[in-house]
Amino acid sequence: MRRTLPGAFLLALLAGPAFAAPLEIASAWLREPPPGSSGAAIYMELHNRGDAPVAVVGARVESAASAAVHGHRHADGMMRMYPVPRLEIAAGASVRLEPGGYHLMVGGLAAAPRAGAVLPFCLRLEDGAEQCAEARVRGIGE
Ligand SMILES: [Cu+2]
């Protein structure tokens, strides 16, 4: 039997998205959705550890129908959400997704995530790579 594993392993290492994507996702969390709601907003910190800009151009949550980056802006005394099709993080910079600002809007969750659980998600980057992480579900008063 030929031993092909080391070669394949090396190839996987070279082709792995970790090499192409210097983006680090930290402290991801979401609030437990209220009963009857199938939507949620995921917050997180994005750190670009690389020496070139990185842009988030999409997202996916396996158990949800939709996931997209949104922003918030004040208009006529109201907070309105708007889609952010491309969120760029400059080289060496960080961007916070936090309540009242950017968030990852999740819609059509198959099952409502409960406090203490984690919700896996992936961000799609402009170069085609994906960066995945888990968001921790916080309770209502947490
Ligand atoms: Cu939103």
State in Å: Cα 14 to ligand 1 middle: 36
Q: Tell me which residue of 135, 142, 123 sits closest to 40, measured CA to CA.
A: 135
Is the model's pLDDT at 48 over the cut of 90?
yes
Distance 70 CA to ligand 1 centre (A): 5
CA of 74 to the centre of ligand 1 (A): 13
- pTM for the model stands at 0.83
Give the residue, 15 or 86, on which the prediction is more confident: 86
The residues spanned by each domain of the chain are 21-138
Q: What are phi and psi of 20, to 5 degrees?
A: -85, -20
Q: What is the mean pLDDT of the chain?
A: 88
Q: Give residue 140's pLDDT.
A: 83
Residue with the bigger pLDDT between 26 and 7: it is: 26
Going 46 to 51 to 53 to 55, the CA torsion angle's sign is: negative
CA 4 / ligand 1 centre spacing (Å): 47
CATH topology of domain 21-138: Immunoglobulin-like (2.60.40)
How much distance in Å is there from the Cα of 23 to the middle of ligand 1?
Answer: 22
What local confidence, expressed as pLDDT, does residue 110 receive? Answer: 93
> 82 or 19, which is more confident?
82
Query: Quick count: other Cβ atoms within 10 Å of Cβ 81?
Result: 12
Asked if the model's pLDDT at residue 1 lies above 90, the reply is no
- Among 6-10, 82-86, 132-136, which is the least confidently predicted range? 6-10
Residue position matching structure tokens 């997209």: 68
User: How confident is the model over 4-24, as a mean pLDDT?
Assistant: 56
> Which pLDDT belongs to residue 18?
46
pLDDT over 60 at 11, yes or no: no
pLDDT band for position 2 (50/70/90)? low
Between CA 52 and CA 22 the distance in angstroms is 9
Q: What is the mean pLDDT of residues 8-27?
A: 63
